[in-house]
Structure 1
Amino acid sequence: MAISALQAGLSGLQSNQQALAVEGHNVANLSTQNFQPQQANFQETPGGTTVTISTAARGLSAANNAGGAPSGTDPASSITNSLVYKANFDLSAKVVKAADERIGTLLDIQA
């Protein structure tokens, strides 16, 4: 059980790291004309979580994108998403730490 928790925690760390990188890429290109923002899509798998990266659909042109950037990226959404991904990353790190402690306890019992 501790090994599967460790694997789930590690996949959470990796997935949220990728999602944060996507948001960083989008924010870095806020002022780039005709930039196509990317979107991170999470999928659950038996071993944890994976992320696929796709180009976000653009419902509005940059000229009609009030409050957004010329690239079509919404800065408020990017910041909010980044905070969510950071919180998820922190939680995954706690899962890894707890699983590591559990494995250490099991090894101590067997020794």
Structure 2
Amino acid sequence: MAIAALSSGITGLNASERALGNSAHAIANIGTQGFQPTQAVFKENAPAGSGVSISFQAQQLQAADAPSGTDLATETTNSLVYKAQFDLSAKVIQAADQNIGTLINTKA
């Protein structure tokens, strides 16, 4: 069970890291004319409880001479959420690591 928690935590870290990178990319291109950011979409892996995966969904394209489609307020909020997800995934890994240590010490 602790190994499954480690796996879930790691997939959560990876997905959160990719989502943060995507949000940072959108913010970095806020001044780029015609830039269309992608939206991170999280999905639970099968079977349930085995982690999370992420995909990116493109937004509707605008004309090339249109201003950037990046909404700074949305991206800032998303960044805070992704950071919290990352921190929680790290806590899952930390707890699983402690449980594995306890199991090993008990059997030693």
TM-score of the alignment, normalized to the shorter chain, above 0.5: yes
Matching residue within 38, 50, 53 for 1:50: 53
Flag the 1:62–1:23 CA change in 2: closer, same or farther, 3 A: farther
Counterpart of 2:73 in structure 1 is: 76
Counterpart of 1:32 in structure 2 is: 32
Gaps of 5+ in 1: 64-69
Contact 1:39 1:55 in 2 (8 A): yes
3-state DSSP of counterpart to 1:40 = strand
TM-score scaled to structure 2, two decimals? 0.90
The alignment-based identity, stated in percent, is 52
3-state DSSP of counterpart to 1:105 = helix
Instruction: State the Cα RMSD in Å.
Output: 1.9
The offset of 1:55, in angstroms, is 1.4
How big is each residue's C-alpha offset from its partner over 1:3-50, in whole Å with a ceiling of 9 and x where there is no partner? 111111111100000000000000000000011111111010032000
How big is each residue's C-alpha offset from its partner over 1:59-79, in whole Å with a ceiling of 9 and x where there is no partner? 8x986xxxxxx2111000000
Q: How does 1:1-111 map to 2 (within 5 A)?
A: 1-45=1-45, 46=47, 47-57=50-60, 70-111=67-108
3-state DSSP of counterpart to 2:39 = strand
- The aligned length equals 105
Question: CA separation in 2, counterparts of 1:52 and 1:44?
Answer: 11
AA in 2 matched with 1:73: T
